[in-house]
């Protein structure tokens, strides 16, 4: 049976270290990192994530501001808010929660965020910095996955990593990070020929496709490390509960089957998910330190 990679525990430890660093920075330099989160509309999952972001930012001793806007907010009003946050010296990180309502062009909004305050790492300038190996803001979920992998494996050098999924916010940055860590990287997707056979060649298999339990146990090479980025809500197992509308969370990996073959695996929930917000705090700390020429303070998080 595979080792279970406990992302929840790792994220808790990381948040504690960030909190200690924030207290230290505030005492020595009067610097209090500030994060602004913008939510448009009432998507229930987004409301939970945004509330958690606010609570965890506050718990880490940071300045936390949440802007909750109505679903009917115009793109022009949202852009005006982003511009005002870009100009606010108390705000070092800006995050616009996705998805945005359909009438808003997400790319236009992400492009309006100052790249140095783009703690999501979604701005094209940060995607470019990552691609060419320059310091920038790195998307939270892939960076969290990399941290879990390094914590479990140590060096990733020479390993074959297969990333299933080619999104701009997970698949592509994940592949870039694995490449920087000296992996041999293959990006696969729904049109990849014989996906199961390709996955079976992976020492590190990252599933980020958004399809419940798509990656089966016989897609996993014995001993491989499986990182499940998926968060899918499906009907509860119990038919009565399902009929009553109860749901459960599953990843993109058929967990039981894969855990029987893998060397290590992240569960859902409790694996990659909690890393997303912990790394958001780290990115906010990073943005704050860089804005004050205090990059050296970040050495312990490298």
- List the binding residues for NADP(+): 165-167, 231
Closer residue to ligand LMY7XDAE, CB minimum distance, 27 or 102? 102
- Measured from the Cβ of residue 117, the count of other Cβ atoms closer than 10 Å reads 26
Q: Which of 118, 120, 203, 228 is catalytic?
A: 120
Which of 21, 56, 97, 221 is the catalytic position? 97
Residue 81 beta carbon to ligand LMY7XDAE: minimum distance, rounded to whole angstroms: 15
**What's the closest the beta carbon of residue 240 comes to ligand LMY7XDAE, in angstroms?**
22
Which CB, 98 or 242, lies closer to ligand LMY7XDAE? 98
Q: Name residues whose C-beta falls within 8 Å of residue 185's C-beta, 6 or more positions apart in sequence.
A: 161, 162, 163, 175, 178, 179
Three-point CA angle 252, 258, 264, nearest 5°: 100
Sign of CA dihedral 90, 94, 97, 102: positive
Nearest residue to the partner ligand LMY7XDAE, using Cβ: 273
Annotated catalytic residue within 21, 53, 172, 221: 53
How does DSSP assign 248-289, residue by residue? EEE-SB-HHHHHTT-SEE--TTTSSHHHHHHHHHHHHHHHHH
Minimum separation from the CB atom of position 302 to ligand LMY7XDAE (A): 21
Whether 120 sits among the annotated catalytic residues: the reply is yes
| Tokens matching residue 174 | 């994940």
Give burial (CB, 10 Å; 0-12/13-18/19+) of 59. middle
Per DSSP, helices labelled H in 92-135 are 106-112, 124-132
* Burial (Cβ within 10 Å: 0-12, 13-18, ≥19) of residue 96: buried
CB nearer to ligand LMY7XDAE: pick between 249 and 298: 249
The answer to whether residue 47 is catalytic is no
Residue list for the binding site:
165-167, 231
Closest approach, Cβ 136 to ligand LMY7XDAE, in A, equals: 16
Q: Which is nearer to ligand LMY7XDAE, 105 or 218 (CB)?
A: 105
Told to judge if 53 belongs to the known catalytic residues of this protein, a careful annotator would answer yes
Give the footprint of ligand LMY7XDAE on this chain (CB under 6 A).
49, 95-98, 120, 140-141, 231, 249, 268-270, 273-274, 276-277
Residues 264, 299, 265: CA angle, nearest 5 degrees: 10
Residue 249 in contact with residue 255, Cβ under 8 Å? no
140 vs 288 by CB, closer to ligand LMY7XDAE? 140
| CA proximity to 196, closest of 217, 227, 174, 167 | 217
Least distance from ligand LMY7XDAE to the Cβ atom of residue 210, Å? 10
* Residues tagged active-site: 53, 97, 120
């Amino acid at each position: 049976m595979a080792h279970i990679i406990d992302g929840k525990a790792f994220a808790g430890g990381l948040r504690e270290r960030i909190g200690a660093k924030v207290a230290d920075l505030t005492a020595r330099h009067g610097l209090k990192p500030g994060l602004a989160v913008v939510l448009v509309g009432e998507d229930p999952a987004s409301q939970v994530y945004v509330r958690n972001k606010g609570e965890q930012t506050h718990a880490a001793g940071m300045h936390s501001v949440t802007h909750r806007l109505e679903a009917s907010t115009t793109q022009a009003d949202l852009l005006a808010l982003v511009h005002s946050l870009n100009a606010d010296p108390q705000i070092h990180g800006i995050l616009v929660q996705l998805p945005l309502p359909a009438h808003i062009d997400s790319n236009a909004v992400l492009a309006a965020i100052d790249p140095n305050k783009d703690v999501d790492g979604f701005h094209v300038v940060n995607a470019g910095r990552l691609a060419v190996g320059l310091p920038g803001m790195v998307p939270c979920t892939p960076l969290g996955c990399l941290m879990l992998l390094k914590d479990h494996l140590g060096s990733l050098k020479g390993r074959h990593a297969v990333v299933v999924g080619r999104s701009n916010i997970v698949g592509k940055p994940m592949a870039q990070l694995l490449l920087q860590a000296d992996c041999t990287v293959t990006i696969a997707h729904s049109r990849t020929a014989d996906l199961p056979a390709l996955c079976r060649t992976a020492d590190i298999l990252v599933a980020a496709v958004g399809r419940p339990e798509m990656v089966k146990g016989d897609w996993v090479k014995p001993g491989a490390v499986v990182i499940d980025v998926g968060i899918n809500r499906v009907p509860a197992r119990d038919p009565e509960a399902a009929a009553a509308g109860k749901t459960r969370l599953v990843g993109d990996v058929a967990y039981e089957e894969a855990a029987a073959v893998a060397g290590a695996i992240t569960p859902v929930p409790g694996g990659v998910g909690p890393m997303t917000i912990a790394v958001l705090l780290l990115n906010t700390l990073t943005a704050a330190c860089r804005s004050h020429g205090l990059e050296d303070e970040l050495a312990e998080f490298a």
